[in-house]
């Protein structure tokens, strides 16, 4: 007659599995909030014609939002909301909008125009050469 695992062995194995799963969750959080790794310097994002005056465009893979507050003036910010790290959803009516909790940011300087976010979006460096907009 073969004897199966003891109750103690099962409990220890279950606890170790739960502890390992918990550790990997924390590791994933810290790596997903690293905004500096998104995009490659010199990478072309778009053309000036693609960015509407008074609006902007979100580049999800690069985690960048490019805006044009005034004709010929281009700005770039991280597209990750400072409230709880959701990606911003759209740009309209002069603001960059996060639909997770309702935060809004100015297309001119990334400042908070509607909480709950309390910190502005970080500015990203871009270069505009001719009609090409690139990450700096």
pLDDT category at 76 given cuts 50, 70, 90 is: very high
Confirm if 117 and 105 have CB atoms less than 8 A apart.
yes
Question: How buried is 71 (Cβ within 10 angstroms: 0-12 exposed, 13-18 middle, 19+ buried)?
Answer: exposed
Give percent above pLDDT 70 in the chain: 72
pLDDT at position 5: 66
In this structure, is residue 99 part of a structural domain? yes
pLDDT at position 9: 57
CATH of the domain at 78: 2.102.10.10
**pLDDT, average across residues 35-44:** 71
Q: What is the number of alpha carbons within 13 Å of residue 52 lying toward its C-beta?
A: 11
Domain of 90 in residue numbering reads as 36-135
Radius of gyration of the CA atoms of the chain, in A:
22
**pLDDT, average across residues 56-81:** 98
- Higher pLDDT: 11 or 96? It is 96
In this structure, is residue 14 part of a structural domain? no
Token digits for 129? 């050469």
pLDDT category at 13 given cuts 50, 70, 90 is: low
**Alpha-carbon gap, residue 53 to 135, rounded angstroms:** 20
In this structure, is residue 28 part of a structural domain? no
Torsion from C-alpha of 40, 78, 122, 117, nearest 10 degrees: -160
Interior/surface letters 24-33, b for 16+ CB within 10 angstroms, e for the rest: eeeeeeeeee
Confirm if 37 and 78 have CB atoms less than 8 A apart.
no
In this structure, is residue 112 part of a structural domain? yes
pLDDT at position 1: 58
- pTM score of the predicted model: 0.72
In this structure, is residue 119 part of a structural domain? yes
Cα 87 off chain centre by? 4
In this structure, is residue 94 part of a structural domain? yes
In this structure, is residue 114 part of a structural domain? yes
Q: What is the count of structural domains for the chain?
A: 1
In this structure, is residue 26 part of a structural domain? no
């Amino acid at each position: 007659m073969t004897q199966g695992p003891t109750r103690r062995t099962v409990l220890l194995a279950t606890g170790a599995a739960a502890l390992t799963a918990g550790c990997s969750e924390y590791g994933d959080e810290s790596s997903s909030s690293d905004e500096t790794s998104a995009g490659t310097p010199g990478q072309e994002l778009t053309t000036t014609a693609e960015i509407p005056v008074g609006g902007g465009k979100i580049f999800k893979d690069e985690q960048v939002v490019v805006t044009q507050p005034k004709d010929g003036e281009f700005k770039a910010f991280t597209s990750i909301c400072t409230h709880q790290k959701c990606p911003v959803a759209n740009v309209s009516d002069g603001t960059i909008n996060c639909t997770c909790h309702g935060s809004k940011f100015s297309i001119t300087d990334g400042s908070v125009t509607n909480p709950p976010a309390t910190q502005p979006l970080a500015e990203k460096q871009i270069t505009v050469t001719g009609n090409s907009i690139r990450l700096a």
